[in-house]
């Protein structure tokens, strides 16, 4: 399928984001593409059709995101429920979702615009806060749901169930519930394992647990994880994808399940996931051992 209608989302706080977006906008228009710009960047560069993020998603063939992983996570929430592929152009530093580097942006897009690309469908989670249907709110995330202590000096107690069966009460600085995509985000810095992003599992990872026997647990994607905040004298902060936060009080309930929605990422034509992983984690200098010819 040839790509003709394209939306551009950019992190205008990134250095040279305006310059790169304008260059990309002109390049796409020269190739006969209909280009829609997110309102913020449209106002910055003074070109294109100004539209809010949701307005540009309904009938475009592709979304190009200029920024880092945070910008892609924000875009994934806007696209929740839509099967529009996202290609990430990396304007940041360490990150795993924006696979196309600036120096290969135009050559990669030449290939992608012809429809010659691989779609990488990533599992998402629904975080449901509240017990009753009248009170509950639902947030869909690509990376993770994090419960953190509200006060720096106290740990939180998190009574945790899996499909209605009691697992444990974590006493910790917090708890991360992550997708495979999120395994290389906050969970990795908290000692969690790296999970191949096309897997369909949910990971629970305590942050600085009081008990050294508490470790990350990987569960089937179909389970429902229920967490009740049991700390009496303080609340907690619930954060979705590191971008949306809600305060919780003692007795509040969080349920996390696999979402019916997915995020569709465009894989780089030049790099596979393992190559990107090696590069981001500093394994790039290691080379495989080769047997000598006899």
Asked if residue 215 belongs to a domain, the reply is yes
Overall size of the chain counted in residues: 294
Report the C-alpha gap between 266 and 269 in whole angstroms: 9
Claim to verify: residue 128 and residue 238 sit in the same structural domain: yes
Report the C-alpha gap between 255 and 130 in whole angstroms: 8
Claim to verify: residue 255 and residue 132 sit in the same structural domain: yes
- The mean predicted confidence, pLDDT, of the chain is 88
Claim to verify: residue 26 and residue 130 sit in the same structural domain: no
Claim to verify: residue 107 and residue 155 sit in the same structural domain: no
Q: Tell me the CATH number at 82.
A: 3.40.50.10330
Claim to verify: residue 9 and residue 69 sit in the same structural domain: yes
pLDDT in tens, the chain (294 residues): 678 899 999 988 887 888 899 999 999 999 999 988 887 777 777 655 554 444 565 678 999 999 989 999 999 988 887 889 999 999 866 678 988 988 999 999 999 998 888 999 999 999 999 876 677 899 999 999 999 988 766 889 999 999 999 999 999 999 999 999 999 999 999 999 999 999 999 999 999 999 888 999 999 999 999 999 998 877 899 999 999 999 999 999 999 999 999 999 999 999 889 988 888 888 866 566 655 555
Asked if residue 196 belongs to a domain, the reply is yes
Claim to verify: residue 89 and residue 137 sit in the same structural domain: no
Report the pLDDT value the prediction gives residue 183, as an integer from 0 to 100: 96
Residues 184-234 have pLDDT tens digits of 999 999 999 999 999 999 999 999 999 888 999 999 999 999 999 998 877
Claim to verify: residue 37 and residue 94 sit in the same structural domain: yes
Asked if residue 293 belongs to a domain, the reply is no
Claim to verify: residue 83 and residue 187 sit in the same structural domain: no
Q: Tell me the CATH number at 134.
A: 2.60.200.30
Claim to verify: residue 164 and residue 107 sit in the same structural domain: no
- Domain boundaries, position 25: 5-118+267-280
Claim to verify: residue 25 and residue 57 sit in the same structural domain: yes
What's the number of domains the chain is made of? Answer: 2
Where do we find the tokens 């009574």?
Answer: 159
> Which member of 26, 69, 144, 173 is catalytic?
69
Q: pTM of the predicted model, to two decimals?
A: 0.90
Asked if residue 102 belongs to a domain, the reply is yes
Tokens of 224: 């429902």
Claim to verify: residue 18 and residue 36 sit in the same structural domain: yes
Asked if residue 289 belongs to a domain, the reply is no
Report the C-alpha gap between 24 and 27 in whole angstroms: 5
Claim to verify: residue 163 and residue 248 sit in the same structural domain: yes
Cα atoms in the 13 Å half-sphere on the side-chain side of 229: 29
Active site residue 69: yes
């Amino acid at each position: 399928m040839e790509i003709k209608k394209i939306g551009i989302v950019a992190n205008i706080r990134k250095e040279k984001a305006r310059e790169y977006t304008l260059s990309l906008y002109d390049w796409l228009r020269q190739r006969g593409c209909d280009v829609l710009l997110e309102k913020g960047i449209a106002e910055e560069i003074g070109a294109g059709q100004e539209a809010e993020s949701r307005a540009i998603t309904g009938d475009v063939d592709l979304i190009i995101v200029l920024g880092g992983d945070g910008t892609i996570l924000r875009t994934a929430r806007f696209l929740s429920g839509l099967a529009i592929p996202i290609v990430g152009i990396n304007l940041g530093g360490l990150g795993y979702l924006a696979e196309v580097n600036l120096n290969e942006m135009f050559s990669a897009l030449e290939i992608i615009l012809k429809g010659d690309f691989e779609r990488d469908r990533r599992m998402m989670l629904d975080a449901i806060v509240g017990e009753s249907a009248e009170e509950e709110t639902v947030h869909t995330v690509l990376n993770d749901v994090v419960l953190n202590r509200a006060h720096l000096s106290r740990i939180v107690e998190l009574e945790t169930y899996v499909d209605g069966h009691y697992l444990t009460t974590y006493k910790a600085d917090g708890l991360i519930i992550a997708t495979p995509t999120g395994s290389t985000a906050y969970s990795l810095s908290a000692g969690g394992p790296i999970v191949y992003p096309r897997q369909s599992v949910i990971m629970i990872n305590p942050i600085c647990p009081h008990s050294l026997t508490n470790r990350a647990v990987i569960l089937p994607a179909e389970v429902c994880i229920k967490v009740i905040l049991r700390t009496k004298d303080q609340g907690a902060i619930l954060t979705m994808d590191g971008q949306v936060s809600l305060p919780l009080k003692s007795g509040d309930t969080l349920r996390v399940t696999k979402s019916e929605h997915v995020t569709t990422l465009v894989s780089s034509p030049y790099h596979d996931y393992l190559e990107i992983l090696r590069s981001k984690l500093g394994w790039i200098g290691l080379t495989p051992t080769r047997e000598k010819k006899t």
